[in-house]
Amino acid sequence: MAIPLVTIAVEGDIDAAVVRRVVAAAELSIGPIYGRRGKNHLDKSLNGYNNAAHRSCWLVVRDLDHDAECAPELVQLLMPKPSAHMCFRIAVRQIEAWLLADRDKIADLFQLSLDVIPQDPDALDDAKATLIQLARRSRNRRLREEIVPEASTSAKVGTGYSARMIDFAANLWRPGLAALSSPSLASCLKSLERWREALG
């Protein structure tokens, strides 16, 4: 059985690392990755991606943020008529919520008790800010210095934040287990699994 090749489009580099693992977990082949230039660039490119999905399989993942009340509303706004081979999914409210959903591995990374890791990451208003706050409490000094922004700057994350999260997503994060705590991730995985069964 041929494994479908999936072309990916995302907002940024952390998203790319996360979505790679999601596609692999669904036992699909990872194709080229587009976007990585922010939400606005991704939104402007959606029509082109959707047109390309007439001919090949595409997975586009975009953060909900506060651009709509819920994922279905944002899908209707941005891609009301997806092509036959387009899988357009929304991370609620940010891709970082999907990382937080693997609570055991996040607790290990930050050397924190499991009790302080949110049990419902999809309900968080700002998952990225939650990750920063958890990092502040970490006993790992180097991790704190990399992830937490310096007080003297206006930056929202530390200089090593992206590298740390990409490494975590690529090497430690478990999409299948994380899906048990994140309905939006579970929905994405189920869509890809149904896709594989239909196309394989």
Averaged pLDDT score across all residues of the chain: 96
Other beta carbons within 10 angstroms of residue 151's beta carbon come to: 5
For residues 49-58, average pLDDT: 96
Residue 200 binned pLDDT confidence (cut-offs 50, 70, 90): low
pLDDT tens per residue, range 32-53: 999 999 999 999 999 999 999 9
pLDDT tens per residue, range 145-181: 999 999 888 999 999 999 999 999 999 999 999 999 9
Instruction: Report pLDDT for 197.
Output: 86
Burial class (CB in 10 A: 0-12, 13-18, 19+), 84: exposed
The pLDDT of residue 1 is above 60: no
Using alpha carbons, select from 153, 160, 169, 171 the residue that is nearest to residue 138: 160
pTM across the whole model: 0.96
**pLDDT above 70: percentage of residues in the chain:** 98
**What strand order describes the sheet that includes 5-10?**
29-35, 5-10, 57-63, 86-91
Instruction: Report pLDDT for 64.
Output: 98
| Start-to-end C-alpha separation, the chain | 6
Instruction: Report pLDDT for 199.
Output: 76
Burial class (CB in 10 A: 0-12, 13-18, 19+), 44: exposed
Helices vs. strands in the chain: H and E counts, helices first:
10, 4
Instruction: Report pLDDT for 196.
Output: 84
Other beta carbons within 10 angstroms of residue 15's beta carbon come to: 28
pLDDT tens per residue, range 59-82: 999 999 999 999 999 999 999 999
Instruction: Report pLDDT for 198.
Output: 83
Domains of the chain with bracketed CATH: 5-96+176-199 (3.40.1360), 98-173 (no CATH)
